[in-house]
Structure formats: structure tokens, C-alpha cells
């Protein structure tokens, strides 16, 4: 993509409402624009990142055996009355009426909707287990939306729901999601720690939230230093085996957010206790028969007896992850995207757009990148070199390739690694091959 034709409305100044790094940078990098409090339009650069995160989340869900569906964003209030949550959920739920005066709501979550689907379709133990997921926009009317996409009112979320015959099978489904979440966040370039959590309005007595360690995270966290040696990508995606030992290992070390940490009762000696900042990016719940009993979601077991389904629900804040990744990976100059989610792999800079030889060489290299299937953003604008370099640092592409008259004399391009700042010189003839996938 040529930057001269790309819609990328970057900002030189930081908007006054942006209080944290991700909010400042996501606005300055031209990724989103605020439509109203806590609601954003996603512009081309931001949407590319969002879609790449979504693709990784989807890939790991499918690998775990979950099947994708799509439910409506507008739900009937009758389902929520049936489960008993309609009055309990609070003002975060946006309640509306249609033209026939029927009570409706903009779904903040989908336990009731999915239970209604499954109770009408699954009647026998032979149809179990099932795990159904969706990636869908949701709305929660936060009293104080803040921090940009980190705590907005409208957000993109992956939510899925498991259905099993008995508690043992239900806990296995829970453990599968535990593993899937570890792998998902690791693929996104994030270091996460699972922490025991309150179930809140979802319900149940087994719940974990996944916390990303980030210097500018929203809450303080305390954890055993042993977590630094854990490798989530080293966990093989073998979902049919007993996963309880894996879950036990990842939950055996102490970890707590500041609202749960009790310094006086902490079992970890001070030399082993680490502190940092954290951001919640995922939350999983096992709540047994809470919804199935209330809503009559039952199946006939192998013994002929009717039994309520065992259920769990699992959420990942897809749009929230955009902010979390920025919080975990940025510097004073701008964003530093992990390669897996970067909107473009390479930024190509022609430092002298007014120089015919430089422009000819940059155009040729750009064409080679496209032919090789390398995602490239080509800054072909008539701007000062300093402005071009600053812009590339701001939007955070993993690599910047610079071409100018001086390098052309020796047939050399400079390649900068955004994460390390390392600069290397590569022959022009070998630049594309350096980045092209084998």
C-alpha cells in the first residue's frame, strides 16, 4: 500500500482525553476515532490489527475443537428473566423496546441466548460434548468509559460456551480453554499469568482471569518469580489428554491482583515475590448447571435419566487486546507491534521523493515486495525524511527499509528493527528475499 493513497490520519499532538499510553498511541497512529464516549470507529490501520488478532483467536478456538456460530446482538429480555439475571445485571445493560413494546436488550454477554439454542437442539448424551464460539460486537454501558479501547462501551469479544453431560467432562472443557488461552496470548506476543478470579454476575465457583504483564497496566499484580520461566507456546495443543496436571502447574504458583493480595497472608517469601502492572484480557468460568436448570436445558443420559447440562463460558476481549498489546509493547517514539499482529510487516521509506533515481529504485522494490506477498506500507510522500522516520516509529511496523541516493551508489538499503533499534545494511537485490516467506 502506498502511504500517499492510504487513509492514515495520524496526529502530531496527543488528545487531552488520552491518559494512558495505548489511548494516546492508538489515536496518534490514526487507528481509531472516537464516535461518542466509549465508542470508536476503526480506521484501516487499526482494523488490520484487529482482524489479525481475531484470526489468531479464531485459529486457537478451532484447534481446541470449538465450532463457530454467530448470535444476534439484540436479545429478548424474556430469556434473561428466565435465567433470573434481567434485574440483577445492573445499568451496564442497555435495555430497549421494539415497536411492539417488547422488552429487548443489547447483549452484554450470551449465556441465555446460547442456552436457548442448545436446549432446543440437544436432547441426548450422544450429542455431547459441544463447544460453540462467536466473535461479536457487544455493548456494556460503562458508567465511566475510559482508556480508549481498553474500557469502552462497545467492544469486540470472543465468547464461547461449553456443554457437557457431567461435572468431570465440564471441567475438562474448562481446562481445554485454559490451554487454548495460554497459547492464544503467547501467539500474540504477550506474557500472561492466569489468576483465580471472582465469577461476578456470570456465576459459578471456578473462574480464572488472564493477566497481561505491562508496565502501564491498569492494576498492580503480585506473582511468584517462577512464572518467568513458564513458556505458554511450549504447551502442546493436545486437547484429548488429561489437562488437569497442566492447569495445576500453571496455578500452583502464587498470583493475585492488588484487590486480592494480602501482604500479611501471602505465602511467598519476599525474595520470590515479583510485583508489576497487569491488564485483564481473558476470563473463563465454569458454572455447572446455573443456567441449564433455570432454563430447562436437559439431556437424557445413558441410564435414561434426564439431567441438566454442565456449562462453562469463556471470554477474550479482542478489541481490548489491541490496547493491551500497545501497553505491553511501546516506547517514547510509538508502538512496537509483534510481527504476528502488525498491520504491515515492512515500512518502505524513500527518503528523497524528489530524486528520480531514488524514486525509481523504491518503486521497483515496492513492486517486488508485493509480488513476493510481503505486507508493505510504502511511504512515497513528498515529506521531510525526519517526518517519515517519525511516522514509521509511531505506527510501529516491525521493520523499516530505507532507500536514498547515498545508498544507491553502493546498491545498499538500510533495514531497521523497530523492537531492538538495530540497523543493518542489505544489498538491494537481497532485501525482498530477506523478508519473503520460504
The 10s digit of each residue's pLDDT in 27-47 is 999 999 999 999 999 999 999
**CATH number of the structural domain spanning residue 363:** 3.40.50.800
**H or E segment and range at residue 57:** helix 44-63
Spans of the chain below 50 pLDDT = none
Q: In this structure, are residues 353 and 419 in contact, taking their beta carbons and an 8 Å threshold?
A: no
The reply to whether 8 falls in a domain is: no
Contacts of residue 371, defined as CB under 8 A and 6 or more positions apart, other chains included, come to none
Q: Tell me what pLDDT residue 147 has.
A: 87
Assess whether 105 and 238 both reside in one domain. yes
Q: In this structure, are residues 90 and 200 in contact, taking their beta carbons and an 8 Å threshold?
A: no
The reply to whether 11 falls in a domain is: no
Last residue in a domain, options 275, 308, 335: 335
Assess whether 252 and 223 both reside in one domain. yes
Q: Tell me what pLDDT residue 202 has.
A: 62
Assess whether 227 and 373 both reside in one domain. no
The reply to whether 340 falls in a domain is: no
Assess whether 208 and 261 both reside in one domain. yes
Sheet-wide strand order for 399-403 = 376-379, 346-350, 399-403, 412-417, 423-427
The DSSP symbol for 90 reads -
Q: Tell me what pLDDT residue 203 has.
A: 60
Please state at what angle helix 167-187 crosses helix 44-63, rounded to 10 degrees: 140
Last residue in a domain, options 310, 335, 360: 335
Q: Tell me what pLDDT residue 365 has.
A: 96
Gap between the Cα atoms of 2 and 215, Å rounded: 34
The reply to whether 393 falls in a domain is: yes
Assess whether 244 and 319 both reside in one domain. yes
Q: What does each C-alpha distance from 167 to 206, 225, 312 come to in angstroms?
A: 12, 33, 10
Assess whether 62 and 154 both reside in one domain. yes
Q: Tell me what pLDDT residue 144 has.
A: 85
Assess whether 121 and 53 both reside in one domain. yes
Contacts of residue 377, defined as CB under 8 A and 6 or more positions apart, other chains included, come to 1, 3, 6, 343, 344, 346, 347, 348, 395, 397
Assess whether 25 and 108 both reside in one domain. yes
The reply to whether 419 falls in a domain is: yes
**Domain count of the chain?**
2
Assess whether 106 and 206 both reside in one domain. yes
Assess whether 143 and 229 both reside in one domain. yes
The DSSP symbol for 227 reads G
Last residue in a domain, options 288, 313, 335: 335
Assess whether 299 and 367 both reside in one domain. no
Assess whether 295 and 360 both reside in one domain. no
The reply to whether 7 falls in a domain is: no
Gap between the Cα atoms of 37 and 16, Å rounded: 14
**Residue 395 lies in domain:** 346-435
The reply to whether 341 falls in a domain is: no
**CATH number of the structural domain spanning residue 139:** 3.30.930.10
The reply to whether 313 falls in a domain is: yes
Q: Is 288 left (phi over 0), alpha (psi -120 to 50) or beta?
A: left
**Residues paired with 219 in a beta bridge:** 278
Amino acid at each position: 500500500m502506498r502511504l500517499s493513497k492510504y487513509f492514515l490520519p495520524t496526529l502530531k499532538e496527543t488528545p487531552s482525553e488520552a491518559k494512558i499510553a495505548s489511548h494516546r498511541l492508538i489515536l496518534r497512529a490514526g487507528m481509531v476515532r472516537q464516535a461518542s464516549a466509549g465508542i470508536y470507529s476503526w480506521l484501516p490501520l487499526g482494523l488490520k490489527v484487529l482482524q489479525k488478532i481475531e484470526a489468531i483467536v479464531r485459529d486457537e478456538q478451532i484447534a481446541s475443537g470449538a465450532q463457530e456460530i454467530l448470535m444476534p446482538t439484540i436479545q429478548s429480555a424474556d430469556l434473561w428473566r428466565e435465567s433470573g439475571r434481567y434485574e440483577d445485571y445492573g445499568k451496564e445493560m442497555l435495555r430497549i423496546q421494539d415497536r411492539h413494546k417488547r422488552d429487548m436488550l443489547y447483549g452484554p454477554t450470551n449465556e441465555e441466548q446460547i442456552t436457548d439454542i442448545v436446549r432446543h437442539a440437544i436432547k441426548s448424551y450422544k450429542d455431547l460434548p459441544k463447544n460453540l464460539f462467536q466473535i461479536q460486537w457487544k455493548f456494556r454501558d460503562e458508567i465511566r468509559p475510559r482508556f480508549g479501547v481498553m474500557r469502552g462501551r462497545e467492544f469486540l469479544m470472543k465468547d464461547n460456551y461449553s456443554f457437557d453431560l457431567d461435572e468431570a467432562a465440564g471441567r475438562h472443557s474448562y481446562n481445554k480453554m485454559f490451554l487454548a488461552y495460554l497459547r492464544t496470548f503467547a501467539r500474540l506476543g504477550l506474557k500472561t499469568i492466569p489468576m483465580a478470579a471472582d465469577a461476578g454476575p456470570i456465576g459459578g465457583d471456578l473462574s480464572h482471569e488472564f493477566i497481561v504483564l505491562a508496565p502501564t497496566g491498569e492494576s498492580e499484580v503480585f506473582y511468584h518469580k517462577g512464572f518467568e520461566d513458564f513458556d505458554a507456546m511450549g504447551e502442546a495443543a493436545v486437547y484429548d489428554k488429561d489437562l488437569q496436571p497442566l492447569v495445576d502447574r500453571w496455578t500452583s504458583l502464587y498470583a493475585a491482583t492488588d484487590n486480592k493480595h494480602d501482604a500479611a497472608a501471602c505465602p511467598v517469601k519476599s525474595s520470590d515475590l515479583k510485583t508489576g502492572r497487569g491488564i485483564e484480557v481473558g476470563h473463563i468460568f465454569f458454572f455447572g448447571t446455573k443456567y441449564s436448570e433455570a432454563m430447562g436445558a436437559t439431556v437424557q443420559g445413558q441410564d435414561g435419566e434426564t439431567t441438566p447440562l454442565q456449562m462453562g463460558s469463556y471470554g477474550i476481549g479482542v478489541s481490548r487486546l489491541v490496547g493491551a498489546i500497545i501497553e505491553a509493547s511501546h516506547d517514547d517514539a510509538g508502538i512496537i507491534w509483534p510481527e504476528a499482529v502488525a498491520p504491515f510487516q515492512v515500512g518502505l521509506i524513500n527518503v528523497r521523493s524528489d530524486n528520480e533515481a531514488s524514486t525509481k529504485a523504491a518503486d521497483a522494490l515496492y513492486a517486488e515486495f508485493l509480488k513476493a506477498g510481503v505486507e508493505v506500507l510504502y511511504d512515497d510522500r513528498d515529506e521531510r525524511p525526519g517526518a517519515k522516520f517519525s511516522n514509521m516509529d509511531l505506527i510501529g511496523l516491525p521493520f523499516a527499509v530505507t532507500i536514498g541516493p547515498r545508498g544507491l551508489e553502493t546498491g545498499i538499503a538500510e533495514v531497521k528493527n523497530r523492537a531492538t533499534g538495530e540497523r543493518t545494511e542489505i544489498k538491494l537485490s537481497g532485501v525482498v528475499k530477506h523478508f519473503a516467506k520460504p
